[in-house]
Protein backbone atom coordinates (compact mmCIF):
# COMPACT_ATOMS: atom_id res chain seq x y z
CA UNK A 1 0.00 0.00 0.00
CA UNK A 2 1.13 3.54 -0.78
CA UNK A 3 -1.90 5.45 0.57
CA UNK A 4 -3.06 5.64 4.17
CA UNK A 5 -5.80 7.55 5.93
CA UNK A 6 -6.51 7.91 9.64
CA UNK A 7 -9.43 9.64 11.34
CA UNK A 8 -8.41 10.95 14.74
CA UNK A 9 -11.49 12.21 16.55
CA UNK A 10 -12.80 13.83 13.38
CA UNK A 11 -9.45 15.08 12.12
CA UNK A 12 -8.25 13.39 8.93
CA UNK A 13 -4.60 12.45 8.34
CA UNK A 14 -3.64 10.87 5.02
CA UNK A 15 -0.36 9.86 3.43
CA UNK A 16 0.54 9.12 -0.16
CA UNK A 17 3.91 7.38 -0.02
CA UNK A 18 4.16 7.13 -3.79
CA UNK A 19 4.15 10.95 -4.09
CA UNK A 20 5.71 11.63 -0.69
CA UNK A 21 2.68 13.67 0.39
CA UNK A 22 1.28 14.07 3.91
CA UNK A 23 -2.04 15.86 4.46
CA UNK A 24 -3.92 17.05 7.54
CA UNK A 25 -7.43 18.39 7.12
CA UNK A 26 -6.96 18.21 3.34
CA UNK A 27 -3.87 20.43 3.29
CA UNK A 28 -0.18 19.57 3.05
CA UNK A 29 1.77 19.38 6.29
CA UNK A 30 5.19 18.30 7.49
CA UNK A 31 6.39 16.75 10.74
CA UNK A 32 9.18 18.18 12.90
CA UNK A 33 10.84 16.73 15.98
CA UNK A 34 9.91 19.21 18.69
CA UNK A 35 12.89 18.85 21.04
CA UNK A 36 15.51 18.85 18.29
CA UNK A 37 14.46 20.22 14.90
CA UNK A 38 11.95 22.79 16.18
CA UNK A 39 14.32 23.83 18.96
CA UNK A 40 17.09 24.31 16.41
CA UNK A 41 14.78 26.45 14.28
CA UNK A 42 13.92 28.68 17.25
CA UNK A 43 17.55 28.88 18.35
CA UNK A 44 18.63 29.89 14.85
CA UNK A 45 16.03 32.65 14.58
CA UNK A 46 17.13 34.02 17.95
CA UNK A 47 20.82 33.77 17.06
CA UNK A 48 20.34 35.74 13.86
CA UNK A 49 17.66 38.23 14.91
CA UNK A 50 18.21 38.58 18.66
CA UNK A 51 16.08 37.42 21.58
CA UNK A 52 13.56 40.25 21.65
CA UNK A 53 13.34 40.36 17.87
CA UNK A 54 12.81 36.59 17.62
CA UNK A 55 9.91 36.79 20.10
CA UNK A 56 8.28 39.38 17.85
CA UNK A 57 8.91 37.24 14.77
CA UNK A 58 7.25 34.22 16.39
CA UNK A 59 4.36 36.28 17.77
CA UNK A 60 3.74 37.82 14.35
CA UNK A 61 4.00 34.45 12.60
CA UNK A 62 1.58 32.98 15.15
CA UNK A 63 -0.91 35.79 14.60
CA UNK A 64 -0.81 35.49 10.82
CA UNK A 65 -1.20 31.70 10.84
CA UNK A 66 -4.14 32.18 13.23
CA UNK A 67 -5.79 34.47 10.70
CA UNK A 68 -5.27 31.78 8.04
CA UNK A 69 -6.85 29.14 10.28
CA UNK A 70 -9.88 31.31 11.00
CA UNK A 71 -10.35 32.05 7.30
CA UNK A 72 -10.05 28.36 6.40
CA UNK A 73 -12.71 27.28 8.89
CA UNK A 74 -15.02 30.20 8.10
CA UNK A 75 -14.86 29.08 4.47
CA UNK A 76 -15.42 25.37 5.25
CA UNK A 77 -17.68 25.46 8.36
CA UNK A 78 -18.89 29.04 8.45
CA UNK A 79 -20.26 29.15 12.00
CA UNK A 80 -18.08 30.59 14.77
CA UNK A 81 -19.75 28.52 17.52
CA UNK A 82 -19.17 25.28 15.65
CA UNK A 83 -15.61 26.23 14.75
CA UNK A 84 -14.68 26.96 18.37
CA UNK A 85 -16.29 23.70 19.46
CA UNK A 86 -14.22 21.66 17.01
CA UNK A 87 -10.89 23.52 17.14
CA UNK A 88 -9.64 22.08 20.49
CA UNK A 89 -9.89 18.51 19.10
CA UNK A 90 -8.17 19.57 15.89
CA UNK A 91 -5.28 21.16 17.76
CA UNK A 92 -4.91 18.21 20.10
CA UNK A 93 -4.84 15.80 17.16
CA UNK A 94 -2.18 17.93 15.46
CA UNK A 95 0.11 17.79 18.53
CA UNK A 96 -0.48 21.38 19.64
CA UNK A 97 -1.35 20.30 23.18
CA UNK A 98 -4.53 20.01 25.22
CA UNK A 99 -6.46 23.12 24.23
CA UNK A 100 -9.70 24.35 25.76
CA UNK A 101 -11.73 27.39 24.74
CA UNK A 102 -12.94 28.14 28.26
CA UNK A 103 -15.00 31.19 27.34
CA UNK A 104 -15.85 33.35 24.37
CA UNK A 105 -18.28 36.12 23.53
CA UNK A 106 -18.78 37.04 19.90
CA UNK A 107 -20.65 40.17 20.93
CA UNK A 108 -17.95 41.40 23.35
CA UNK A 109 -15.15 39.99 21.20
CA UNK A 110 -13.54 38.39 24.23
CA UNK A 111 -12.30 34.87 24.93
CA UNK A 112 -10.24 32.73 27.32
CA UNK A 113 -8.13 29.78 26.13
CA UNK A 114 -6.03 27.30 28.10
CA UNK A 115 -3.22 25.19 26.63
CA UNK A 116 -1.41 22.35 28.38
CA UNK A 117 1.68 20.56 27.07
CA UNK A 118 1.69 22.56 23.85
CA UNK A 119 4.54 22.13 21.38
CA UNK A 120 5.85 25.65 22.11
CA UNK A 121 6.02 24.82 25.81
CA UNK A 122 8.11 21.76 24.98
CA UNK A 123 10.46 23.75 22.77
CA UNK A 124 10.97 26.34 25.51
CA UNK A 125 11.71 23.57 27.99
CA UNK A 126 14.28 22.16 25.57
CA UNK A 127 15.82 25.64 25.28
CA UNK A 128 16.06 25.88 29.06
CA UNK A 129 14.06 29.14 29.20
CA UNK A 130 11.65 30.30 31.88
CA UNK A 131 9.32 32.67 30.00
CA UNK A 132 6.06 31.89 28.22
CA UNK A 133 6.30 31.68 24.45
CA UNK A 134 4.64 34.21 22.15
CA UNK A 135 3.70 32.07 19.15
CA UNK A 136 0.63 30.32 20.62
CA UNK A 137 -1.01 33.33 22.27
CA UNK A 138 -0.25 35.35 19.14
CA UNK A 139 -1.75 32.54 17.07
CA UNK A 140 -5.00 32.50 19.03
CA UNK A 141 -5.17 36.29 18.84
CA UNK A 142 -5.10 35.85 15.05
CA UNK A 143 -7.78 33.14 15.22
CA UNK A 144 -10.17 35.30 17.25
CA UNK A 145 -9.41 38.39 15.17
CA UNK A 146 -10.58 36.44 12.14
CA UNK A 147 -13.57 34.80 13.79
CA UNK A 148 -14.77 37.98 15.52
CA UNK A 149 -13.99 40.17 12.51
CA UNK A 150 -12.23 42.62 14.81
CA UNK A 151 -8.73 43.33 16.00
CA UNK A 152 -8.09 41.16 19.05
CA UNK A 153 -5.00 40.92 21.25
CA UNK A 154 -4.01 38.90 24.30
CA UNK A 155 -2.58 38.86 27.79
CA UNK A 156 -0.95 35.87 29.47
CA UNK A 157 -2.78 35.09 32.71
CA UNK A 158 -1.14 31.77 33.62
CA UNK A 159 2.03 30.11 32.39
CA UNK A 160 2.85 26.41 32.44
CA UNK A 161 6.52 27.19 31.98
CA UNK A 162 6.20 29.45 35.02
CA UNK A 163 4.85 26.67 37.21
CA UNK A 164 1.11 26.74 36.59
CA UNK A 165 -0.78 23.60 35.62
CA UNK A 166 -1.49 25.07 32.19
CA UNK A 167 -1.07 28.29 30.25
CA UNK A 168 -4.06 30.60 30.07
CA UNK A 169 -4.58 33.45 27.65
CA UNK A 170 -7.24 36.16 27.70
CA UNK A 171 -8.30 37.84 24.46
CA UNK A 172 -9.96 41.23 24.08
CA UNK A 173 -10.50 44.04 21.56
CA UNK A 174 -7.35 46.13 21.16
CA UNK A 175 -5.52 48.53 18.87
CA UNK A 176 -2.36 46.43 19.30
CA UNK A 177 -1.25 44.55 16.19
CA UNK A 178 1.93 42.74 15.17
CA UNK A 179 2.58 45.55 12.69
CA UNK A 180 2.33 48.11 15.49
CA UNK A 181 4.65 46.00 17.65
CA UNK A 182 7.19 45.82 14.84
CA UNK A 183 7.06 49.61 14.43
CA UNK A 184 7.37 50.08 18.20
CA UNK A 185 10.38 47.78 18.34
CA UNK A 186 11.97 49.55 15.39
CA UNK A 187 11.36 52.95 17.02
CA UNK A 188 12.84 51.68 20.30
CA UNK A 189 15.90 50.30 18.54
CA UNK A 190 16.31 53.51 16.53
CA UNK A 191 16.00 55.61 19.68
CA UNK A 192 18.43 53.38 21.54
CA UNK A 193 20.93 53.40 18.65
CA UNK A 194 20.64 57.19 18.39
CA UNK A 195 21.14 57.57 22.14
CA UNK A 196 24.17 55.26 22.10
CA UNK A 197 25.61 57.13 19.11
CA UNK A 198 25.07 60.49 20.81
CA UNK A 199 26.67 59.19 23.99
CA UNK A 200 29.63 57.77 22.08
CA UNK A 201 29.98 61.00 20.10
CA UNK A 202 29.89 63.03 23.31
CA UNK A 203 32.52 60.80 24.92
CA UNK A 204 34.81 60.95 21.90
CA UNK A 205 34.26 64.69 21.55
CA UNK A 206 35.27 65.15 25.18
CA UNK A 207 38.35 62.98 24.69
CA UNK A 208 39.25 64.90 21.55
CA UNK A 209 38.64 68.19 23.32
CA UNK A 210 40.93 67.15 26.15
CA UNK A 211 43.61 66.10 23.69
CA UNK A 212 43.31 69.39 21.83
CA UNK A 213 43.62 71.29 25.08
CA UNK A 214 46.82 69.42 25.82
CA UNK A 215 48.48 69.74 22.44
CA UNK A 216 46.99 72.97 21.08
CA UNK A 217 48.91 76.19 21.62
CA UNK A 218 51.38 75.01 24.28
CA UNK A 219 53.29 77.48 26.40
CA UNK A 220 56.95 77.19 25.42
CA UNK A 221 59.59 78.80 27.70
CA UNK A 222 62.43 80.04 25.49
CA UNK A 223 64.30 81.72 28.31
CA UNK A 224 63.43 82.67 31.87
CA UNK A 225 62.02 85.96 30.64
CA UNK A 226 60.53 84.91 27.28
CA UNK A 227 57.58 82.61 26.50
CA UNK A 228 56.26 81.54 23.10
CA UNK A 229 52.64 80.50 22.46
CA UNK A 230 51.98 79.21 18.92
CA UNK A 231 48.39 79.72 17.69
CA UNK A 232 47.48 76.68 15.61
CA UNK A 233 44.40 76.34 13.41
CA UNK A 234 41.18 78.34 13.74
CA UNK A 235 39.90 79.76 17.02
CA UNK A 236 36.32 80.03 18.15
CA UNK A 237 35.05 81.46 21.41
CA UNK A 238 35.39 78.20 23.35
CA UNK A 239 38.92 77.45 22.18
CA UNK A 240 40.03 81.07 22.48
CA UNK A 241 38.80 81.40 26.07
CA UNK A 242 40.41 78.09 27.00
CA UNK A 243 43.81 79.23 25.70
CA UNK A 244 43.52 82.68 27.26
CA UNK A 245 42.55 81.35 30.69
CA UNK A 246 45.24 78.66 30.68
CA UNK A 247 47.94 81.11 29.61
CA UNK A 248 47.00 83.84 32.06
CA UNK A 249 46.87 81.35 34.94
CA UNK A 250 50.40 80.17 34.13
CA UNK A 251 52.04 83.52 33.42
CA UNK A 252 52.82 84.31 37.10
CA UNK A 253 54.46 80.91 37.43
CA UNK A 254 56.93 81.69 34.61
CA UNK A 255 57.48 85.32 35.67
CA UNK A 256 58.12 86.17 32.03
CA UNK A 257 58.56 89.71 30.76
CA UNK A 258 57.73 88.92 27.12
CA UNK A 259 55.08 86.67 25.57
CA UNK A 260 55.53 85.92 21.88
CA UNK A 261 52.32 84.94 20.02
CA UNK A 262 53.33 82.95 16.93
CA UNK A 263 50.65 83.30 14.21
CA UNK A 264 52.48 81.19 11.61
CA UNK A 265 49.98 78.29 11.77
CA UNK A 266 46.88 80.39 12.50
CA UNK A 267 44.02 79.73 10.06
CA UNK A 268 40.51 81.06 9.60
CA UNK A 269 41.48 84.61 10.55
CA UNK A 270 38.33 86.69 11.19
CA UNK A 271 37.05 89.56 13.35
CA UNK A 272 36.72 87.29 16.37
CA UNK A 273 40.33 86.11 16.02
CA UNK A 274 41.65 89.65 15.89
CA UNK A 275 39.54 90.70 18.88
CA UNK A 276 40.77 87.60 20.70
CA UNK A 277 44.45 88.49 20.03
CA UNK A 278 43.93 92.07 21.19
CA UNK A 279 42.19 90.79 24.33
CA UNK A 280 45.07 88.38 24.87
CA UNK A 281 47.65 91.16 24.57
CA UNK A 282 45.69 93.45 26.90
CA UNK A 283 45.15 90.79 29.56
CA UNK A 284 48.81 89.75 29.55
CA UNK A 285 49.82 93.42 29.84
CA UNK A 286 47.77 93.77 33.04
CA UNK A 287 49.92 91.00 34.50
CA UNK A 288 53.10 92.82 33.55
CA UNK A 289 53.94 90.74 30.47
CA UNK A 290 54.49 92.45 27.11
CA UNK A 291 53.28 90.69 23.97
CA UNK A 292 54.80 90.43 20.51
CA UNK A 293 53.20 89.08 17.33
CA UNK A 294 55.33 86.98 14.97
CA UNK A 295 54.59 84.92 11.88
CA UNK A 296 52.58 87.65 10.19
CA UNK A 297 52.60 86.86 6.48
CA UNK A 298 51.74 89.30 3.69
CA UNK A 299 48.34 87.59 3.33
CA UNK A 300 47.62 87.91 7.04
CA UNK A 301 48.70 91.55 7.13
CA UNK A 302 46.30 92.30 4.25
CA UNK A 303 43.44 90.60 6.11
CA UNK A 304 44.18 92.67 9.20
CA UNK A 305 44.14 95.89 7.15
CA UNK A 306 40.97 94.90 5.26
CA UNK A 307 39.20 94.09 8.50
CA UNK A 308 39.50 97.71 9.56
CA UNK A 309 41.09 96.74 12.86
CA UNK A 310 44.45 97.91 14.06
CA UNK A 311 47.29 96.23 15.92
CA UNK A 312 49.08 99.49 16.49
CA UNK A 313 51.22 99.46 19.58
CA UNK A 314 51.89 95.73 19.34
CA UNK A 315 55.37 94.87 17.99
CA UNK A 316 54.94 92.64 14.90
CA UNK A 317 57.53 90.53 13.09
CA UNK A 318 57.61 88.18 10.14
CA UNK A 319 59.50 85.32 11.74
CA UNK A 320 59.94 83.99 15.25
CA UNK A 321 63.69 84.69 15.40
CA UNK A 322 63.06 88.40 14.89
CA UNK A 323 60.64 88.48 17.78
CA UNK A 324 62.99 86.64 20.11
CA UNK A 325 65.85 89.00 19.17
CA UNK A 326 63.63 92.03 19.82
CA UNK A 327 62.66 90.73 23.27
CA UNK A 328 66.29 90.11 24.12
CA UNK A 329 67.32 93.59 22.91
CA UNK A 330 64.63 95.22 25.04
CA UNK A 331 66.14 93.50 28.09
CA UNK A 332 69.70 94.35 27.16
CA UNK A 333 70.45 90.69 26.42
CA UNK A 334 71.94 88.89 23.46
CA UNK A 335 72.90 85.38 22.48
CA UNK A 336 76.57 84.89 21.74
CA UNK A 337 78.91 82.00 21.10
CA UNK A 338 80.45 80.48 24.15
CA UNK A 339 84.08 81.41 24.60
CA UNK A 340 86.44 78.47 24.66
Q: How many percent of the chain have pLDDT more than 70?
A: 94
The stretch 139-150 carries a mean pLDDT of 96
pLDDT higher than 60, residue 185: no
| Every domain of the chain and the residues it spans | 32-176, 217-330
- With beta carbons less than 8 A apart as the criterion, state whether 261 and 293 touch: yes
Kindly give the residue spans of alpha helices, DSSP state H, lying in 149-270: 178-215, 237-254
User: Alpha-carbon distance 49 to 275, whole Å?
Assistant: 57
Q: Choose among 96, 43, 107: nearest CA to 69.
A: 96
Is residue 181 pLDDT above 80, yes or no? no
Is the pLDDT confidence value at 119 over 90?
Answer: yes
pLDDT digits (tens, 9 = 90+) for 220-277: 898 888 999 998 888 888 888 888 888 888 888 888 899 999 998 888 778 888 888 8
pLDDT of residue 256: 87
Question: Comparing C-alpha atoms, which of 260, 230, 255, 264 is closest to residue 328?
Answer: 260
Cα 111 to Cα 154: distance, rounded to the nearest angstrom? 9
Residue 50 contacts residue 130 (beta carbons within 8 Å): no
Is pTM, for the whole model, over 0.85?
Answer: no
Higher pLDDT, 141 or 271: 141
CATH of domain 32-176: 3.30.1380.20
Is the predicted pLDDT of residue 45 greater than 80, yes or no? Answer: yes
CATH fold, domain 217-330, is: Transcription Regulator spoIIAA (3.30.750)
pLDDT of residue 329: 92
Amino acid sequence: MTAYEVNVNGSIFDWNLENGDFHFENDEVVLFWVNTAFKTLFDSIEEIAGEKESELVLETAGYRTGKIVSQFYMDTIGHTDEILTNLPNTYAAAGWGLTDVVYYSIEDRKAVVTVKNGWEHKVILAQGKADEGKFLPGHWAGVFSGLFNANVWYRIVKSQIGGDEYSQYEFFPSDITPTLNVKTLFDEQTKKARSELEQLTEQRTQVLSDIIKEISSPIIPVMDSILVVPLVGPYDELRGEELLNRTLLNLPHYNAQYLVLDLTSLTGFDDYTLDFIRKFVGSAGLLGTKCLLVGISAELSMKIVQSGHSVAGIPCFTILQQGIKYALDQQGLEITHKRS
